Structure 1
Amino acid sequence: MSFNEWAGAGPMTFAGFANYARMASDPVFVTSFVNTMWTLFGVGAAVFVVSFALTMLLQNMLGRKFIRLVIFFPSLVPGVVVGILWGFLFNADGLVNTVIGGLGVDDPPGWLSQEHMFKIILLGIMWLHTGVYTVILMAAADRIPRDLYEAADLAGATPWQRFRYVTLPLMWDVVSVCIVLWCVQALKIFEFILVFTGTGGLPDRGVWNLALFSYAEAFPTDGTPAFGMAAATGMLILVLAMVFTVLARWVLRRDDVQY
């Protein structure tokens, strides 16, 4: 379908690589591609930094099972619900501005303005996914024998050294799988951005990613559907997922650690 022009009904018209050429020259597509890369690398880095930090903090904490459940809770809620909730929290009369106003700030930022909206979306995506990877990494850390940590304590290791030389090497296989999962997941994020503004239509084009760009081409609010362009974008997402998965597996390849 990506090599054809098709409005969703009637015969297809062969177009060769015209959809791909038009896609590459479309400024909205370029913005969507850049936003997708920000999600993949920027949010991904933040998600794993926070997940590692929480794993270190909660590893020996009392009540960590309950805290783990609290952290994981956002992942149990459908992304559509979380996206709507996140939008309400940051609107002009939302909870965030109410709290800021209570602290004495008379003119809080317009969180849903074009200047700040994409940053708030990235923050929401990070909050939504951090719990999943924290729980997975904590489960991997729990399987490490306790006597290794006791030996590290006897050697005078700091908490960072315990993590760097004991925890991380012994759960590296799980970390590599999590990074591969994130590479695929980040390219498919869709409903959170779609419903974030709560307008019932498409959000501002400045916050689109590749998935939303593909959807907008197939189901535009005005104009003729372009299923060929939507399919070309879908093929690009597939290729990116394959490339980043292979690269991640190659970069993260390590010899197995026995314990």
Structure 2
Amino acid sequence: MTTIVVRAENPFEKSRRRMIGPFLAPALVVYTLVMVVPSVFTVWISFNDWAGAGPMEWAGLANYREMLRDPVFGQAFLNTVKILVGVGGAVFFVSFLLTMLLQDMFGRKFVRAVVFFPSLVPGLVIAIMWGFMLDPDGLANSLLKSLGIAEPPLWLAPENMFATVMGGLTWLAAGTYTVIFMAAADRIPRTFYEAAELDGASAVRRFWHITLPLMWDVIGVCAVLWAIGALKTFEFVLVFAGATGSLPPTSLWTFSVYAYAGAFPSDGVPRYGIASASAVLTMLLTVVLTLLVRRVMGRREGTDY
């Protein structure tokens, strides 16, 4: 004889499920109004010619074709890739190096706060300060002259400007990722390091074989964050390389600056269709790159060390 047991539903669990909707609805409404609606409207504008006022004129894929044929957009794409790969590689290398050096350092909490300080200051302020420091008569060149270097580099010369921007972005972001990596490294049991020290492992080998594998999940999240941030690089380039009331030279433009220049040109009629097409392409690349990074990092996370 089979006995069927019917369990009564927990009243508390039932009431808890009923409360999910009322608590979730306000956040969902705000997200829809702030993110979903503007994104859909941007996609719609990208298929039209619009100066920001008056009726829109349907253009289809013309804005996308014109953008992809534009050599300025090609330069913006190249600059964005340089920031994504070049600056990203430098940021993670510096962050790994600082994490390795500061793990067992006395007073590392104070040093961590100092390293993190640039991230607390708005990027606009950092860009202005960076420009004053690297001016031909600024602090950097004055220090180099005091050390006996008669002709210090022209940091703000056109041929050196983008390399200087990349250096500034590296300095601005390295502290943030260093703090994140150090927080992840603090979770690792010290017994692993003690055993490695007894086996004679150097600091580099301990970092490579213990710290790096055990914080790989955090590195994956940081890689996604960097990919998203790199594709949206804007204010540092605009303020550091642009003169008052004008845009930076086109050789320094990124995706975001290209979109901004279409919507708010220094002279001429705004072209919100081109600007929106650039924004849509940036959004698509962000999604694809995020999925790609997560897939690659996920494979590494699942391997044996």
TM-score (norm 2): 0.82
Change (3 A) 1:205 1:186: same
Distance 1:8 1:72 in 2: 40
Distance apart, 1:205 and its partner CA: 1.3
Q: In the alignment, which of 256, 261, 278 is matched to residue 216 of structure 1?
A: 261
Counterpart position of 2:135: 91
Matched residue, 1:72: 116
CA RMSD of aligned residues (A): 1.4
Aligned to 1:138: 182
- Are 1:251 and 2:296 matched, yes or no? yes
- Give, as a single letter, the amino acid of the residue that structure 1 aligns with 2:281: L
- 1:109 CA displacement: 2.7
Between stretches 155-164 and 142-151, larger displacement belongs to 155-164
Tell me which of 257, 260, 274 is aligned to 1:229.
274
Contact 1:87 1:198 in 2 (8 A): no
Moved over 4 A (4+): none
The 5 A counterparts of 1:191-210 are 191-197=235-241, 199-200=243-244, 201-210=246-255
Residue of structure 2 equivalent to 1:101: 145
- Contact conserved, 1:84 with 1:198, CA < 8 A, in 2? no
Secondary structure of the residue that 1:222 maps to in structure 2? coil
1:11 maps onto 2:55 in alignment: yes
1:256 positional shift: 8.6
Match of 2:213 in 1: 169
CA distance in 1, matches of 2:292, 2:174: 22
The whole-number CA distance in structure 1 between the counterparts of 2:191 and 2:153 is 51
In the aligned structure 2, how far is the partner of 1:8 from the partner of 1:107? 49
User: C-alpha separation between the residues in 1 aligned to 2:265 and 2:302?
Assistant: 49
Deviation, 1:93, is: 1.3
Task: Indicate the larger mover: 197-206 or 5-14.
Answer: 197-206
Count of residues in correspondence between the two structures: 258
**Which position in structure 1 is the counterpart of 2:204?**
160
Letter in 1 for 2:194: E
Give, as a single letter, the amino acid of the residue that structure 1 aligns with 2:297: L
Cα pair 1:84 1:197 within 8 Å, conserved: no
Residues 121-174 of structure 1 deviation map (CA, whole Å, 9 limit, x = unaligned)? 000000000000000000000010001111111122121211111111111100
User: Which amino acid counterpart does residue 137 of structure 1 have in structure 2?
Assistant: F
Change (3 A) 1:184 1:34: same
The aligned amino acid for 1:71 is: V
The match for 2:158 is 114
Equivalent residue letter for 2:190: R
Query: Does the 8 Å CA contact 1:7/1:224 hold for their aligned counterparts?
Result: yes
Look up the SS of the partner of 2:116 in the other structure: helix
Unaligned runs of 5+ in 1: none
Using the aligned pairs only, state the percent identity: 55
- Output the amino acid matched with 1:255: G
Tell me which amino acid in the other structure corresponds to 2:283. L
Q: Secondary structure at the match of 2:276?
A: helix
The more displaced of 230-239 and 159-168 is 159-168
How far off is 1:198 after superposition?
5.9
Range with bigger deviation, 187-196 or 73-82:
187-196
The correspondence for 2:286, drawn from 233, 241, 256, is 241
